[in-house]
Chain A
């Protein structure tokens, strides 16, 4: 095919930097590649100085001469055949992988398996690295910023009597003293939760917020509230919200890097949906915090299973009998109570540290 006087392909020739095109053919003659038409030579060069663009699908192929002029052809197969004869198969290896072929099924399966293992192993490892290199002021900035904006929008000052607040604060510092970072690392804030209702939550800088409604819900069972606080302390200890934030960012980043172009809509969902997702903890983080609450309560001399009573009330009053399923981030309430009671019984049997 690519004999010395062979025509390589038919196409168009462009002068350097000009839109004007002439019909032309590409030939190889005496070791030179030439673009010509009816015997008129437009451009020529020795083989090595001519640049053939890589094939992508069936888009036009460009052959660039040293003088900047360009020969363009849609006859990709002819150019491939010529290059194969001249240089062996190397030139178009990526294109050959991309061609429609049963091999693509294998690639697809490989991508799915690799994607799953990245999600399972590489993502958690990346999250750990990110947590390690996060300077301490980042959680502080996130925490104080969130508290300030919550105070402006939904939260109102607490209406709990001073004496009651003091009682909770005392119990809280007992728990905090036994956790990582010690008492100074945590601060309990009382607020009227407004729309949030009965709740307690932790900010990454160690600020905990306890709503009046939760205290009311607990009634005379103050240990139960402490159990919930122990759970929230554990979220701070384990840097769960930072981890969740990095996880969401990691998923978005990896998907965009690997898939290249996911479309602007999917990109928006990944970045904005990821932020929403970052507001909730993962199931394993919840389970870990439950266990930590049991430990802290036990160490503080309280009933280690107090947190289970909170879930019992939730189940009772809110009808939360849900079993754990893949879609919910929280383990089912009945299951959590069981785990907490079992762990409490286990830890009581152990000698106090």
Chain B
């Protein structure tokens, strides 16, 4: 009887990289069938499509020779979506009968947002397993309020100067409440390190703003220099304004988008590399900011140019890159990990909160 422990003895003491074993050709088939069946069933299949997509990506994400598994069912996600759609229909009908409801609904949603986020992250964690052991998330709604709502607000009102503080709150909230079975994750990203990656993005934003400001100045100058005559003024003004709006939009998308991508990748590196599992086993992320941004941008261009047909290829390419730059160093023996959720079955079937966009899957 052969028993395989968690740490492969050969690679002990070294960082073991994750990998992605899926292929664009294989995923294309899954994706196109998802799309086709979603259209034919008037959208109903999209819940099951999500399950197949996530099972494919989780099941091909391999670390220490084992893959992850996604356990949510199409029915769960479908019911969750029905609840959301039902809520909005009821609120809309109420708003017609009692107009003040229209003002109350967004306020209620805003107040409920931290709770929704916390439930969404917990759902994502609980439907994920590795080596037959489920992940869990024990963060609170209050924690989500501080980490996400308050963090966004302070980042916004300080024009991004305090963004690293917000990022630190966010990653600490996610990692420190994350559980693999009975083991804890933890991260203590240093603020200085986050400011280190923040600096480049901040410099890009400042330079971008100067360029945008320059364009606006040129437009205004061009307009007033175009002469006093009405026709001249019009001509100069509109042509310059027209070009100016496009130039501003392009600079905005390029510089600010690029700065955001650099920052996202940089903070991921800092947060993951400061993270541990069980207090001993170290995680690592060494995503190259330039390469990451290039993959995101070229993926967007290819996806749009092919009207989405290259999306499977793009998704696989991204997953492969990110996985290959994520690693774990197992220090000592992990031993037997047990699921911390005793009544895992009941706990999961009661959960329908799957908040899109809060997947930060492993």
Interface positions of A (Cβ within 8 A of B): 12, 14-23, 37-38, 40, 56-60, 62, 70, 72, 94, 97-101, 104, 107-108, 110-112, 114-115, 118, 133, 135, 137-138, 195, 197-198, 213, 216-217, 255, 257-266, 269, 276, 317-319
Contact = CB atoms under 8 A, between A and B. Distances in A.
Nearest to B318: A263
Contact of A197 (B40, B49, B234): B234
B338 interface: yes
Contact of B29 (A19, A72, A99, A317): A99
Given A18-B133, A57-B56, A265-B299, A259 B308 contact: yes
Contacts of A259: 35, 308, 311
Contact of B303 (A17, A60, A72, A263): A263
B339 A18 contact: yes
Contacts of A263: 296, 299-300, 303, 311, 314-315, 318
Nearest to A23: B2
B86 to A, nearest CB: 15
B309 interface: yes
Nearest to A12: B4
B90 interface: no
B53 interface: yes
Nearest to B340: A17
A245 B133 CA distance: 46
Given A14-B131, A19-B334, 11 more contacts: A17-B344, A18-B337, A18-B338, A19-B337, A19-B338, A56-B30, A98-B29, A115-B307, A137-B99, A197-B241, A269-B300
Nearest to B253: A269
Interface string B312-325: 00110010000000
Contacts of A94: 33, 52
B33 A59 contact: no
B99 A57 contact: no
Interface residues of B, number: 76
Contacts of B334: 19
A57 B22 contact: yes
Contacts of B235: 317-319
Contact of A133 (B3, B43, B92, B299): B92
Interface in B227-280: 230-231, 234-235, 237-239, 241, 249, 257
Which of A14, A37, A56 is packed against the most chain B CB atoms within 10 Å?
A56
B102 A18 contact: no
B25 interface: yes
B239 A318 contact: yes
Contacts of A257: 38, 43, 46
A59 B230 contact: no
